[in-house]
Structure 1
Amino acid sequence: MKKRFLLLIVAVLLTMSALTGCSSSTKSDSSAANGTDQTGNAAEGTKSFNMVLRHIHIRDTAKKSLEILQETVKKTESEVPGLTFVLDGVEDAVNRDVKLKAEMAAGTQPPVFSLFGGADTRNYSKAGRLLPLNDILKELNIQDSFFDLREFTVDGQIYGLPESGYIEGFFYNKKLFEQAEAKVPTNWDELVTAMEQLKSKGITPIAMGAGSGDGWVINMLVNSMFVALGGPELQEGFATGATKWTDPAVVETFKRIRMMVDKQYIDPNVLGLKFPQGQANFYTGKAAMLFDGSWAVNAISGESSTVKADTGFFRFPDVGGPGDGYINGGWSNGYGFSATVKDQELTAVKAFINNFYNQENQKRTLVETSQIPAMKGISDLQGANELIKTIGEAQGSAKGAFPAFDSLVQPKIKVTLESTMQQLLGGKIEPEKAAERMQKIQDEANTENK
């Protein structure tokens, strides 16, 4: 049976009225806590203070997300006496793998910052760097308003809030598929056939930019493939030692990726392109497919796109393994807050959460940025992009969802897989050796964590 738009969203629409009642009460609570009078004027004698807010909305395709953030910042500043936010826009990988990692080690993290769930949240919370949010969410009456906070929860404490959700899969150009007489694949053999048909017509089958610091891009495809071949429990066992990177499903994944490179099913210039350039090759009609997250809808539907009316979506095809039917999806990217915030800053944190995480902003996230909301109860979907609805149907037809592998393993594993897959793409390492390297680093990481 065909399911309509986002299984999880549909499942909670019936709770809409209860959640709507929550949002009206939180505003009055916030203004009282902020130390403003009934007109919203700041109390006399309030000291001015600045707060850095680190975000990752720096690309042209993230303009709408940045606008929502900027409007939230402006509203929060008007409510909190003396507050000025200093927005610090940093590229996602640089923030996660360089700046934030160094700041957390030194204890100099910003008051508000983009945070990735899973291993990052676990490590930073164990180090005492993250502000627990349970009491704040109860105070604002939104503790039950999110779809899934598991990736930001450690030992029962919530340390971050997802900005939006995602699923990953193949975007495809319907016109190029028709030109090559290819059909939308439902299994691995059909995918290989489609890639060969496209290539025979002089069409690049899969757009991708995984050069320089963008090794994570290929790992979206790798992740979906080894889960399909080995099941979700495969990646759940890496950090515990229950499974290994040398297991057959992973080695077979590396072999198939190498085959796709050798046959030039993946853009031959994959290592010469950055992520946005690879994306652009799809949304300007130069390639037939793009394996990406639902966040890519914003670029595909943007002003520079020539394929916005011709793009479809399908989840990773079945391969005959225990992970068939599952889809990579979750709520991993969001905001965290420093454990060292002072009283004035804590007031600002509460106001920011209240102003950012509400029904109005969540609907804007869906309609304006085509990203899957993090909160329940979005009912008016008028204006939502047709492509995001198709993505929702793909999610709804899936057997289940699994998180990105890097939310389950130590950070050094993520970095190692990125460099290793770049070498595999460049023909510098064989699949079996790649698997052995990964397991060696995994063993080291597991020993360090004992």
Structure 2
Amino acid sequence: MKKKTIAFLLSMIMLVGTLIGCSNESGSEGEGSGSEDEVVKLRMMAYNPESTRTTYLQMLDEKLPNIEIEFEFVALDNFNNVLNAQLQAGEGPDIIEVGGEAKLLAKANYLLDLSDKDFTSKYVDAGLKPYSVDGGIYATPLQSWFEGIFYNKTIFEENGVEVPKTWDELIAISKKLAENGVKPQTMGAQSWEPMMKQSIGLVNNEFYADEANSDFDNKFNEGEAKLAEAWLPAVKEWSKIIDEEILTDDMLGLSYDQALDQFATGKAAMWESGPWAVPTILEKNPDIEIGMFPIPGTEEGPGWLIGGPGSALAINANSDYIDEAIQVLELTATEEAQLALVEDNAGSSFLEGVEVDLGEIYTDSEEAFKAGNVYAPWTAVWTSGNPIVQSYGKSLQEVLAGTKTVKEALQDADETNDNLRQTLN
């Protein structure tokens, strides 16, 4: 019954919500492994495209000649539907890229417990925590992810504006840009994600920066705390960007790709996203000069980025090739593999002793990185993170459309959390 209940929750992730090929029969560890000369095919299902893993996959091919990785990309908006259908059928990929749904998958016994594997000890606790349940470790982290606000340095310079240090300054420079005939910020609000992430950037500054709130997320998991009470002041502060018509309802018709194109081609001065977008931006406009600044708070400070432990690799507990899948995760827990991951998708590593130079684009965010001001509660702590933030993000779309209030959007997220928590219990 427990497995069916959690399977139901997993199917709900994409119905309310922040990742087909050949199948495998159920088998014990080591069962079905090939001989030393036989090449074993492992299917890796991921919601980050192959272009973000090119160098890493090439390294796996060179270092593990006995293993062939069949990389299967499934877009995030359909990933959990596809994955859950396969897992419920006793099938699924051998290696799974997991994010906010990892705890639910682990509770449903779909993921192999890796806690007895030596390579897990090479990662710092912060990287393993999102993928740990009841003392078990069910995935190991890839590079961190983060988002801030990209800006066009040339447009800023030509219009005499500087990187904002407070939210009010961001509003002020946006108004100045608009007065000069420049679109201040573009946003692909056709997706529920960007407003959700940007608003939580204000929450990071105004709420999570206060140590008195350090236990809030655990209380939220238990239903003892509500977003509509704790987060409301910060999200109201963020919503000034809607009140001042910097984010506008026509952006609800813009896709991620359309917003990226507007920024890359100089039609907008700012755009919220992460390092994975940089290659496409530079491909569209090789001469563009860009930087990224963290989301500022109401008072001057280092600011905060949205992010933290990004996605991770887990092993399907029913894979026929568990030994080979473990070899992949063992190799991933090396400095060479970590640097290969960062090569195509900038981020920091959770492997102890590995340092990464992110480059000049992120100079304006250095103080935030040094302060450790990178956080996304739905991936770090929340049990049902993805469906909660999707519910919240979709409600923010209604806020932008003028049909819902910020408080109602937070109440929707609280209701989703309560419903999923009660179902789990």
Identify the match of residue 336 of structure 1 among 289, 314, 323. 314
With over 3 angstroms needed to count, the CA separation of the structure-2 counterparts of 1:416 and 1:251, relative to structure 1, is farther
Which residue matches 2:359? 385
> For 1:51, what is the secondary structure of its paired residue?
strand
Give the 3 Å change call, closer, same or farther, for CA 299–417 of structure 1 in structure 2.
Answer: same
Q: CA deviation at 1:325?
A: 4.6
- 2:199, 2:238 within 8 Å by CA — same for their partners in 1? no
- 1:34/1:357 CA distance change after superposition, 3 Å: farther
| Distance of 1:185 and 1:438 partners within structure 2 | 30
Cα deviation, residue 360, structure 1: 1.9
Structural mapping, 1:50-449, within 5 Å: 50-58=41-49, 63=51, 65-75=52-62, 78-80=65-67, 84-96=68-80, 98-117=81-100, 120-136=101-117, 138=118, 141=119, 143-146=121-124, 148-211=127-190, 214-231=191-208, 233=213, 234-247=216-229, 249-250=231-232, 252-254=234-236, 256-257=238-239, 259-266=240-247, 268-300=249-281, 302-306=282-286, 308=288, 310-320=289-299, 325-342=303-320, 345-378=321-354, 385-388=359-362, 390-396=364-370, 398=371, 400-407=373-380, 408-410=382-384, 411-449=386-424
The amino acid that maps onto 1:282 is F
Cα 1:76–1:351 change in 2 (3 A) is farther
- 8 Å CA contact 1:164, 1:372 repeated in 2: yes
Partner deviation per Cα, 1:56-84 (whole Å, 9 max, x = no partner):
343xxx62x3322431453366224xxx4
2:304–2:368 contact (8 Å) kept in structure 1: no
Secondary structure of the residue that 1:238 maps to in structure 2? helix
In structure 1, give the amino acid aligned to 2:316: S
Q: 1:131 to 1:305 in 2, by over 3 A?
A: farther
Identity %: 21
Aligned residue for 1:86, secondary structure, equals strand
Checking the alignment, whether the CA contact within 8 Å between 1:318 and 1:325 is kept in structure 2 is: yes
Partners of 1:443 and 1:135 in 2: CA distance: 34
Unaligned runs of 5+ in 1: 1-32, 37-41
Q: 1:445 to 1:134 in 2, by over 3 A?
A: closer
Report the CA distance shift for 1:235/1:364 in structure 2 as closer, same or farther (over 3 A): same
Deviations 1:248-281 (A, max 9, x none): 6326515643x42343312653211222322232
Report the Cα distance in structure 2 between the residues aligned to 1:325 and 1:67, rounded to whole angstroms.
32
Structure 1 CA distance for aligned equivalents of residues 414 and 47 of structure 2: 31
The whole-number CA distance in structure 1 between the counterparts of 2:298 and 2:342 is 31
Q: CA deviation at 1:49?
A: 5.4
| Deviation for aligned residue 1:439 | 2.8
SS of aligned partner of 2:172 = helix
TM-score between the two structures when normalised by the length of structure 1: 0.76
Aligned residues: 385
Give the partner amino acid of 1:87: F
Compared CA separation, residues 297 and 116, structure 1 to 2 (3 A): same
Give me the whole-angstrom Cα distance separating, in 2, the residues matched to 1:240 and 1:145.
28
Partner of 1:335, secondary structure, is: strand
RMSD between superposed Cα atoms in Å: 3.0
What is the match of residue 17 of structure 1?
A: none
Give the superposition deviation at 1:149: 1.3
Equivalent residue of 1:313, what SS? strand
Q: TM-score normalised to the size of structure 2?
A: 0.80
Letter of the aligned partner of 1:100 in structure 2? L
Note the alpha carbon deviations across 1:304-353, whole angstroms, 9 max, x for none. 23564x212221112259x98554331121211101123xx112112222
Question: Is the 8 Å Cα contact of residues 217 and 377 (structure 2) preserved in structure 1?
Answer: no
Looking at structure 2, the residues matched to 265 and 351 of structure 1 have their Cα atoms a distance apart, in angstroms, of 49
Contact conserved, 2:34 with 2:40, CA < 8 A, in 1? Answer: no
Shift of 1:194: 1.0
Measured after TM superposition, the shift of residue 221 of structure 1 is: 0.4
Structure 1 residues 222 and 405 mapped into 2: Cα distance closer, same or farther (>3 Å)?
farther
What code does the residue aligned with 2:197 have?
M
Are 1:227 and 1:235, in contact at CA under 8 Å, matched by a contact in 2? no
Task: Return the alpha-carbon distance in structure 1 between the equivalents of residues 58 and 234 of structure 2.
Answer: 48
Note closer, same or farther for the CA distance 1:86–1:215 as it changes in structure 2 (3 Å cut).
same
Q: After the TM superposition, list the runs of 4 or more consecutive aligned residues in structure 1 that deviate by more than 6 angstroms.
A: none
5+ residue gaps, structure 2, are 1-32
